[in-house]
Amino acid sequence: MRFSLSVNGHPRYTASVNGAGYLSAHLNMQSRPKENDYSRSVRVDGTETEETETVRMKWPAQPLNIGDVVEIKILPDDGVSDRPAEVKKSSEAPTNLFFNAELAKEVFDTVRDFDSRLMQLLSKSERSEPADEHRKVELAVGAVLYELGEHLLYPIFRRQKHLIPEEMKGELL
């Protein structure tokens, strides 16, 4: 994926994501009187989802004025692009957990067992609770599993790639 960004006919940069992922431009206009912020800008972000790595890229935001014309031109995938101003790899996140692979596996197995047990309880709830009560349980379990993934499993996966389940490879980490 590749596109160029121009403001008032002047090229600013060409951005690209070479593999699976996302490339997007964001036109932002702010009216925040309490912060004295009346800014306008366009920025470009990219996310590449490799098999076991998420790479986030940002190109410089371009300030805008009233009357400016912003042009995004979609380009063929092959060709030269400008380097992003910022690149962050999921494997380098400071929140990644467990250098020790054995301990990471033990935590992963514990979470997997807990997940399995929660699913059993959810099935039991579906059979024995009124529908509205079961829905509450379903939402609560969903919230717990989300938090486990976000704050425990994903930080483990980013460092211990061998633990990533096959069906999650190529997804955002």
Q: What is the pLDDT of residues 105-142, one digit of tens each?
A: 999 999 999 999 999 999 999 999 999 999 999 999 99
The structural domains of the chain, with segments of one domain joined by +, span 2-91, 101-168
Task: Collect all residues with Cβ–Cβ distance below 8 Å to 136 and sequence separation of at least 6.
Answer: none
Bridge partners, residue 46, by sequence: 23, 57
Find the mean pLDDT for residues 78-103. 89
Per-residue pLDDT for 87 more than 80? yes
pLDDT, residue 173, reads: 61
pLDDT, residue 172, reads: 64
pLDDT confidence tier of residue 27, bands split at 50, 70 and 90:
very high
Per-residue pLDDT for 104 more than 70? yes
pLDDT confidence tier of residue 169, bands split at 50, 70 and 90:
confident
pTM over cut 0.75? no
The Cα–Cα gap between 106 and 125 comes to 28
pLDDT, residue 63, reads: 96
Secondary structure (H, E, C), the chain? CEEEEEECCEEEEEEECCCCEEEEEEEEECCEHHHCECCEEEEEEEEEECCCCEEEEEEEEEECCCCCCEEEEEECCCCCCCCCCEEEEHHHCCCCCCCCHHHHHHHHHHHHHHHHHHHHHHHHHHHHCCHHHHHHHHHHHHHHHHHHHHHHHHHHHHHCHHHCCHHHCCCCC
pLDDT, residue 28, reads: 94
